[in-house]
Structure 1
Amino acid sequence: MTHEREITEPVDLCLPDGRLNPAAIGWTRRPLHRANLRGWGRVKRWEYWGIVTPTHILGLVASSLDYAGVHSVYLLDRRTGLERNHEVVVPFARGAILPPRSGDGPVHAAGPGLAIDIDQRAEGSTIRAVAPGVQIDLTVPMPPGHESLGVVVPWSRRRFQYTVKDVGRPVRGTLRVDGTGFPVGAADSFAVLDHGRGKWPYAVRWNWAAGSAPGRAIQLGGRWTDGTGSTENALVVDGRLHKIGAELTWRYDRTDWLRPWHISGTGVDVRFHPFHERRAKTNLGVLASETHQCFGRFSGWAATEAGERIDLDGVVGWAEEARNRW
């Protein structure tokens, strides 16, 4: 299913001079990389948590993009389709805390009207955030034996990215919107982590899809990994990760984002059926981004390492296209 090397021991992402450590290139089933980034020059660090409940979809971002910290809390009411998004830009990411290891240590980001605090421990993470009209108090436990996908993508020795995509995590707690509390239960809600650390090219485009249902979760990526020898594709079945090493073909209509998407390749034949499109655009001159993130339901299948096709009908999540100049 994959030609990539599986890493099974802790490793530093960078050499002492800040270049990519060749021993770090590969993929993992649990976070083993220490992102010992140094210096200046398109160094990017972020934590993104996406949370799906029967009533809402949440997105939380804490980031440091060299010359700015861009932090946000996004909320979609699934019943009404109403969105709210509070984003703050903090010069030089002052005050942001983003630890070098995924799942280990505190994360903090704050700006006018917004604060995000994440406590990461071996047994799981707690997420607390406040934004205008929104209060979030959630626990994301780490199930025994649960596996996540870690990948190092090497564009060159000086441009590279380490990502952890942790899909299908249970989540529980409370979401409060304009004073009304909404309980979040682990039986019908899930959380997805995107942990990123690296040194990026100035302009890049990517696709990302993630979704979960009881006992099944899917993680698919594209464009930004093309030609690097690394991919970020995986199927998770009952907590066990099945790495998919093929580069995938993404087909979707950029004039109508709510039309069905088709993602296919060796070991994958997935349809994605959107029910809502989120558009996000930032233009700060040297830093600009445009993202079309669609929420919806998956159908089709993905194969395990043994070749068994797992039905993805009923999996809920998102698929997106992002373009960044940063």
Structure 2
Amino acid sequence: MSERELTTDVSLTLPNGRLNPDAVGWARSPLVDTTGIGRGRGRNKRWEYWGITTPTHVVGMTVSSIDYAAVLELWVLDRATERTWHGTPTLIPARGVVLPARAEAGPSRARAKDFEIDIDELPEGTRLRARMPGVTVDVIAELPAGHERLAVVVPWSSTRFQYTVKDVARPASGILTLDGVAHALPAGESWAVLDHGRGRWPYDIRWNWGAGSGRSGGHTIGVQVGGRWTAGTGSTENAFVVDGHLHKISAELDWQYDLAQWRTPWRVTGGGLDATFTPVYDKVTRTNLGVVAGSTDQCFGDWSGVFSTADGEQIAFDGIFGWAEEVHNRW
């Protein structure tokens, strides 16, 4: 499959609000201006999700507005004990949320009762702060010079489309405080991953997403894979990142797994990637509000395998911690 690489700034939408055909493609940085994705059209989805992984803990934080609701989340997992801390305020109608018009163009904020998230861009990276009873997060997701991110526009139609920035293997530093006990993020072993989304979605959608960050074979490795939701669009959100350099995978990948036996290793292959994901924990989320419903299994574990570059180089990797998920939303 042939995909166009974008190299200059472009607007996601035309003046009439429809998809700008010139925006369809992928880039190595957040070049796409999503100012045209505003509130009030009924299908708009806007979010910032950050996942933070350390040898001892996992943190997930979400600031989102799906037009008719603000859906927020802060989740922490103790990897050794599997104890979790979890807050999921949902505000109807959407309120208490600030999201920038385009990636890295301003702060993101979330406010609810006993719940705060603040995401701020700094010269050295992105500061991630959050607070709820029992949990305080203050982390810097560093942005090393030359670090490349995967930015993709996925077109279902002129009125249904998504812009996503998937940014893996960002070095993380800072403090996670749980029930008054401070945990410093170990340098060189802590990572942050961004999922930035702006778009207008179909009502009923399914997707897979996998991400991993770590060190293997003397390299910093970032795994970024997706599936199902991009099928038939001519775009993919698949890439492999080595020492900050992004190798785009312009192929739909084959996902083999069984959620009924989720601990069985998952296989993700295609486009030069031969990867195995070995899960150790399943974060299960189920919601059913009638018209709005969702089902998510986000499994955490280790990625291993081999990636073959376009030049034929074989890059083996092992012990790259992250996640793989299956999601079905009616929203």
Using the size of structure 1 for normalisation, the TM-score is 0.97
Aligned residues, how many?
325
- State the alpha-carbon separation in 2 of the partners of residues 163 and 66 from structure 1: 18
Point out where structure 2 has 5 or more consecutive residues left out of the alignment.
none
SS of alignment partner, residue 98 of structure 2: coil
1:196 corresponds in structure 2 to 197
Determine if the alignment matches structure 1 residue 43 to structure 2 residue 40: no
Report the Cα offset of residue 54 of structure 1: 1.1
Instruction: Check whether the contact 1:104–1:122 (CA below 8 A) recurs between aligned residues.
Output: no
Q: 1:293 aligns with which of 298, 308, 325?
A: 298
Instruction: Report deviation, 1:28.
Output: 0.4
How many angstroms apart in 2 are the aligned matches of 1:101 and 1:303? 33
Aligned equivalent of 1:151: 152
Q: Determine if contact 1:104/1:121 at 8 Å carries over to the other structure.
A: no
- Deviation of the 1:104 alpha carbon: 2.5
Map of 2:266 onto structure 1: 261
Deviates most, 33-42 or 225-234: 33-42
Which consecutive residues of structure 1, in runs of 5 or more, have no partner in the other structure?
none
Alignment map for 1:1-326 (pairs within 5 Å)? 3-35=2-34, 36-38=36-38, 39-214=40-215, 215-326=220-331
| Identity level (%) | 54
Q: Do the aligned residues in 2 keep the contact of 1:235 with 1:303 (CA within 8 Å)? A: no
Q: Deviations over 1:222-264 (max 9, x none)?
A: 0000000000000100100000001011010121111110111
Distance 1:198 1:187 in 2: 34
- Counterpart-to-counterpart distance in 2, 1:107 and 1:240: 27
Q: CA, structure 1 residues 122+305, in 2 after alignment: closer, same or farther (shift >3 Å)? A: farther
Contact 1:103 1:122 in 2 (8 A): no
The answer (yes or no) to whether the contact 2:42–2:68 under 8 Å persists in 1 is: no
Q: Which amino acid aligns with 2:89?
A: V
Structure 2 counterpart of 1:45, one-letter code = R
User: Match of 2:97, SS?
Assistant: coil
Answer yes or no: is the 8 Å Cα contact 2:139–2:173 preserved in 1. yes
Asked whether the equivalents of residues 163 and 199 of structure 2 are also in contact (C-alpha less than 8 Å), the reply is yes
Distance 2:93 2:24 in 1: 29
Residues 59 and 76 of structure 2 are in contact (CA less than 8 Å); yes or no, is this contact kept in structure 1? yes
For residues 99 and 289 of structure 2, the distance between their equivalents in structure 1, rounded to whole angstroms, comes to 22
CA contact (8 A) 2:131 2:137 kept: yes
Q: 1:3 is paired with a residue of what secondary structure?
A: coil
**Cα displacement (A) at 1:284:** 2.5
> How much has 1:194 moved relative to structure 2?
0.2
The verdict on how the C-alpha distance between 1:320 and 1:237 changes in structure 2, with shifts beyond 3 A counting, is: same
Q: Separation in 2 of the partners of 1:117 and 1:305?
A: 39
Q: Residue 12 of structure 2 aligns to which amino acid in structure 1? A: L
Distance 1:137 1:100, change over 3 A: same
More displaced 10-residue stretch of structure 1: 303-312 or 174-183: 303-312
Q: Which one-letter code corresponds to 1:80 in the other structure?
A: T
The offset of 1:122, in angstroms, is 4.7
Moved more, 127-136 or 112-121: 112-121
C-alpha displacement at 1:296, in angstroms?
Answer: 0.3
Where 1:307 maps in the other structure, the secondary structure is coil
**Matched-pair contact (CA < 8 Å) for 1:153–1:160:** yes
Q: TM-score, normalised by structure 2?
A: 0.96
CA distance in 1, matches of 2:187, 2:198: 29
Cα RMSD, aligned residues only: 1.1
Secondary structure of the structure 2 residue equivalent to 1:314: strand
What is the alpha-carbon distance in structure 2 between the residues aligned to residue 220 and residue 251 of structure 1?
13
Secondary structure (helix, strand or coil) at the match of 1:23 reads helix
- 254-263 or 17-26, which deviates more: 254-263
Secondary structure of the 2:252 match is coil
In 1, Cα distance between equivalents of 2:222 and 2:285: 25
